[in-house]
């Protein structure tokens, strides 16, 4: 097995998932629609003035992003489990951890990246300034991959269970707390004119750690679920 063949296999797997998501684009769009709707409803409920929104904005955006990420996790490995593709991935000559990472990366492109792209619009709607919007984009760009990586572990552990969505939430929500704290605090600091670099560096460090550890954990969880 050469590096070129491995790269081609990972790319083919990611493209396959992207094509499947395009065919089910209505279902794939659910997290983004949820993110937009909940943010708008909270804005209406809290009040439209900047003074009313200022304190609630960071927590509102980050909690909504977290819940949006949870929506699509149950189906991350489910279709592969049902059609037998997951077993083929396990017995393939390619490292299962890297194959799983390719699937997670494709899933983030489908569900996480649109949240980052939509965030400037949400920021304008919530009356936050340009500098804070930049911090919001960077924090989500660092934080949403972490949410997807952590969620993928829960999805792998529950792939063989019916209606495992609630169990996924119970398993991974405690691990989401540090990401939620650092992400919301970064935006909060920017709103009040403070430097958000410490929180962003923390998110970057967590992302680097999980990029290394999580694929291995996902591979182990998938093997355990199939046994």
pLDDT reading at 226 higher than 80? no
What does the alpha-carbon distance between residue 47 and residue 45 come to, in Å, rounded to a whole number? 6
pLDDT-based confidence at residue 164 (cuts at 50, 70, 90): low
* Residue pointed to by tokens 């037998």: 84
- Candidates 150, 67, 165, 137; CA nearest to 104 is 150
Residue predicted with more confidence, 207 or 173: 207
pLDDT category, 1, cuts 50, 70, 90?
Answer: low
DSSP string across 49-68: SHHHHHTTHHHHHHHHHHHH
User: Is 125:108 a contact under the CB 8 Å cutoff?
Assistant: no
Provide the sign of the torsion angle of the four alpha carbons 211, 60, 159, 105, taken in this order: negative
pLDDT band at 148 (very low <50, low <70, confident <90, very high): very high
Report the pLDDT averaged over residues 107-129: 88
Q: Which two tokens stand for residue 117?
A: 């792209």
pLDDT in tens, 19-51: 887 787 777 778 888 888 888 887 777 766 666
Whole-structure pTM value: 0.90
Contact 216, 97 (CB under 8 A): yes
Tokens of 198: 């410490």
Question: What average pLDDT does the segment 147-169 reach?
Answer: 80
The answer to whether the CB of 119 falls within 8 A of the CB of 92 is: no
Residue 59: Cβ within 10 Å count? 17
* Predicted local distance difference test score (pLDDT) of residue 179: 94
CA 81 to chain centre: 21
Supply 79's token pair: 């279709």
Boundaries of domain holding 98: 3-226
What average pLDDT does the chain have? Answer: 85
Number of domains in the chain: 1
């Amino acid at each position: 097995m050469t590096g070129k063949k491995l790269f081609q296999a990972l790319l083919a797997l990611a493209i396959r998932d992207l094509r499947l998501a395009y065919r089910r684009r209505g279902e794939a769009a659910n997290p983004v629609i949820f993110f937009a709707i909940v943010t708008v409803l909270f804005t209406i409920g809290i009040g439209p003035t900047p003074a009313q929104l200022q304190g609630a904005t960071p927590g509102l955006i980050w909690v909504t992003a977290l819940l949006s990420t949870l929506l699509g996790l149950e189906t991350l490995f489910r279709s592969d489990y049902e059609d037998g593709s997951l077993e083929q991935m396990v017995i393939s000559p390619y490292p299962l951890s890297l194959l799983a990472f390719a699937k997670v990366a494709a899933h983030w492109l489908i569900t996480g990246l649109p949240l980052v792209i939509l965030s400037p619009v949400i920021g304008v709607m919530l009356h936050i300034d340009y500098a804070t919007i930049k911090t919001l984009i960077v924090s989500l760009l660092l934080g949403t991959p972490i949410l997807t990586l952590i969620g993928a572990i829960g999805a792998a552990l529950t792939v063989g269970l019916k209606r495992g969505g609630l169990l996924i939430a119970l398993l991974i929500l405690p691990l989401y707390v540090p990401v939620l704290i650092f992400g919301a605090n970064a935006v909060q600091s920017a709103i009040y004119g403070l430097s958000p670099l410490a929180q962003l560096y923390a998110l970057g460090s967590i992302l680097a750690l999980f990029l290394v550890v999580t694929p291995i954990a996902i591979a182990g969880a998938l093997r355990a679920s199939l046994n």
